[in-house]
Chains A and B, each alone.
Chain A
């Protein structure tokens, strides 16, 4: 018999549907120790060296062909199920962890500002009155410095820096950053915990703010507008608009309240033919900002006749809720440690 006959026979055999054990038997029959391939090789002995080479090669090709076919068939075999099996059964539980929602917001905000070369910093939460107030043009008799507006700590007063307090805003980092860098340019994003004595459904005595600060030659209102616009479009979405409204803060001049267009009513103030319930006539308050007050620049050792800058401070809880469109009836849930709430994130 010729090799091609053997091949034909083999092809015939594998045309039928073969079980796993039949396939196994076929393998032994052809490739086994006493199998057909071995037998074919043994016939080589009587051939001339030229033929040996030629036939040997044919046998090898045939062997390779068999191996390939068998392995193909083998991989196509479906193993019958031995025992009951429900692939949808969740037998093992791997506990899913969670990060605090504020962590997600902080990470996203930091990354948005790092793309435009703002450096993230962190400053003390237990702070001197000087950095939180005096250096920021907030005089000693200002209402914000009352103990009903700011937490004071029982600690000896410092002659230069005043009382020890819990910083009520991230703006205390402004002058600290100017002093760290000694001279402009300044590009800072400061994210920290802040504290104020309010505790109700819309206020927690501890909250988070992020503060942007940019100081350089030739910085003006258009840069503040452009940078906040960039942040808003990155964080909230391309289609959101901002507007500046006049406001008053001691440490900025001019000062602005920043509003962003409402996503629910697309800034129209009307939703489903009714007044939008989420916003005030199409706009939502984002937070305060302004051009750094000359007094503050001087506190940081920077000449306001040469340099100018802008700053803003926004609440993180607020932007997080605004972004996600979450309806949290009681802000206190953020710091309640309620795992039913926290594990949703």
Chain B
């Protein structure tokens, strides 16, 4: 969260001659980060980032407390309001005034609640210094009562609410949680719908008068005629406030402070300040005793810590005295017995300090992170997961290989939409679904990459005339729950080009034992195949049914990349070079449903003696082809008659000997 505060105001608690810029720069390195400084007449306004654990410093006092640690005593003087303040004595000052209101609370709704009535107030304009300071930090002045309430919140970080006591029916406030949806009209006149669990106050006529911790209701708000008020200083249950505030989208300063969890002690000083300012600037006087609900009073937290451990974790030997001074200036009490430290945590840090690591942070940041040396972490050998390492290596190789072939790598969102899933004839119920998607376009986790690549082609129509895209990413399955790394390729060329790219990848990974077998995927056109490596289907390849006006054919492939990498071989066993003459023999085949290229290849390698290699040298109409066979022996020169015999054996085995005559 960010908060705006005035530098003059901070000076009330930390008196210093430092320039606003110096103050901001140096404080930012030690504690709260002052992100911007703006001049406002004779004042400066700081825009300060407050981390969620340090809501205690989201106020003038909190920044002054930090400044006290960040700067030396010669640079500034800190005024600690709690040092001499005696709350019970202050409270006694109200005794005998009786009680003219009734409050009942829920035990899980608030951890502290202080209330006191004031009568004889006159609503009017605020004094100049209050109006000016509020205006400086961007808060609109309304009237003296409302302004004082806001002023105290900014000064002490303690939200509070002031009711018109006469507008609360029967002077009764009862805290409750909403059961059935109900409407409330807030101070700013907007009406919102409350839902089950929301924390509210109702009055003696059961009317909703306050939306706890977020905003007061208009029914009980201070108006021009107000004379009697009820000052309330609550500490609400942070979760209830957050839930309601987030759901309604009403992010008041009070709500933001409450939901971060403020301490219950500062409310005492807040009540005093409210009483002082109201009697001074609104002419009121106390009309009741101080009513204080505080079932579990604060007990100081003590941390025992070892000096050696503190300096070991910081990495620099800061002296015991220096640590003590730093902690004391931050408000901690420190007792040292040789290496043993007993550190008492100030009440305003009770929610964020608990361990020796917290003490390390407090010490090191005030000492100055910039003073710490830089050291590389000591070198050690940690064993990598070999399988994952291999995947990373080949991932990089395949990406560069495809880019070198003219492909563009794309990265798409891992989520897809229902329409796409249905377009490719899949059942959405088998897909992992995001419960609260930010867009219908990103609702389901992808199980295929190629539909995204097709979307990319659609989106880029007209910009490019040739598509060569690829993506390497995970897909996510529900049953069973697994992630799979996939490589998908899309081209605006036909099946044979796609298949050639896939083969090229395989062969550059030294995988030769592959096959393409006719498949039946409903999202692909008739030219499609399962990609088989070592008898395992690891993907598919085919032409899409979809096309675009400028691109008639799209072919895609998608393979399980991890399965592929597992089969990849870095350096294959070297094939011995032929010693004797290599005899080539060309043969023309006509492919049929019963005679596929892969049949010829498999049969040839399995049954022919001295076959060294074969390659396709010519293809006509995807059906007729010339295959060149290479024969050689490592013992002697082969005769042409021997080769012919082998070839006759091949055509016999393939059952096509009637078509040949050699």
Contact = CB atoms under 8 A, between A and B. Distances in A.
B28 A154 contact: no
Given A153-B432, A291-B357, A337-B459, A248 B54 contact: yes
A193 B414 contact: yes
A117 interface: yes
A146 B242 CA distance: 11
Contacts of B361: 246, 253-255
B433 A153 contact: yes
Interface string A98-137: 1110110001001000001111111011100000000000
A141 B239 contact: yes
A208 to B, nearest CB: 9
Q: Name the residue in B54, B369, B388, B389 with the highest tally of chain A Cβ atoms < 10 Å from its Cβ.
A: B369
Interface of B: 25, 28-31, 33, 35, 51-54, 239, 242, 246, 259, 312-316, 352, 355, 357-358, 360-361, 364-365, 369-370, 372-385, 388-389, 391-392, 396, 399-400, 402-415, 432-439, 442, 445, 452, 455-456, 459-460, 463-464, 466, 468-469, 473-474, 476, 478, 481, 483
Interface in A132-174: 141, 143, 146-148, 151-155, 164, 166
A337 B409 contact: no
Contact of B52 (A98, A188, A248): A248
Contacts of A334: 411
A291 B358 CA distance: 11
A339 B372 contact: no
Interface of A: 94-100, 102-103, 107, 110, 116-122, 124-126, 141, 143, 146-148, 151-155, 164, 166, 180-181, 185-188, 193, 195, 197-199, 204-206, 214, 216, 218-223, 225-227, 229-230, 243-248, 253-257, 280-281, 291, 293-294, 308, 310, 334-340, 342-343
B400 A280 contact: no
A222 B374 contact: yes
Contacts of A197: 436, 438
B401 to A, nearest CB: 9
A140 B379 CA distance: 37
B630 to A, nearest CB: 31
A278 B414 CA distance: 32
B377 A97 contact: no
Contact of A230 (B376, B459, B469): B376
A151 B483 CA distance: 17
Contacts of A118: 382
Given A221-B372, A253-B361, A97 B404 contact: yes
B29 A98 contact: no
Nearest to B472: A103
Nearest to A305: B309
Given A121-B385, A185-B382, A218 B312 contact: yes
Given A246-B365, A253-B357, A226 B376 contact: yes
Given A97-B405, A338-B459, A117 B379 contact: yes
A246 B48 CA distance: 13
Nearest to A124: B483
11 contacts: A97-B405, A97-B406, A99-B409, A148-B246, A151-B437, A153-B434, A220-B315, A221-B315, A222-B373, A308-B313, A337-B469
Contacts of B399: 99, 103
Nearest to A222: B315
Contacts of A151: 434, 436-437
A244 B369 contact: yes
A246 B330 CA distance: 15
Contact of A147 (B242, B384, B436, B442): B436
A117 B381 contact: yes
A246 B26 CA distance: 12
A305 B49 CA distance: 33
B450 to A, nearest CB: 13
A302 to B, nearest CB: 14
B375 A337 contact: no
Contacts of A186: 382
B388 A121 contact: yes
Nearest to B413: A206
A251 B456 CA distance: 39
A216 B246 CA distance: 41
Nearest to A219: B377
Given A97-B468, A125-B483, A335-B411, A243 B358 contact: no
A193 B485 CA distance: 13
Given A126-B483, A218-B378, 20 more contacts: A97-B408, A98-B409, A100-B411, A107-B396, A110-B392, A118-B382, A121-B388, A122-B391, A124-B483, A125-B483, A154-B432, A186-B382, A225-B369, A226-B376, A229-B374, A244-B370, A253-B357, A253-B361, A254-B361, A281-B25
Nearest to A197: B438
A336 B458 CA distance: 12
A310 B314 CA distance: 12
Contacts of B404: 97
A182 to B, nearest CB: 11
Contacts of B405: 97
A153 B477 CA distance: 12
A212 to B, nearest CB: 9
A248 B434 CA distance: 29
Nearest to A114: B384
Nearest to B391: A122
Contacts of B374: 222, 225-226, 229
Contacts of B412: 335, 337
Contacts of B33: 245, 257
A337 B456 contact: yes
Given A206-B414, A219-B377, A248 B51 contact: yes
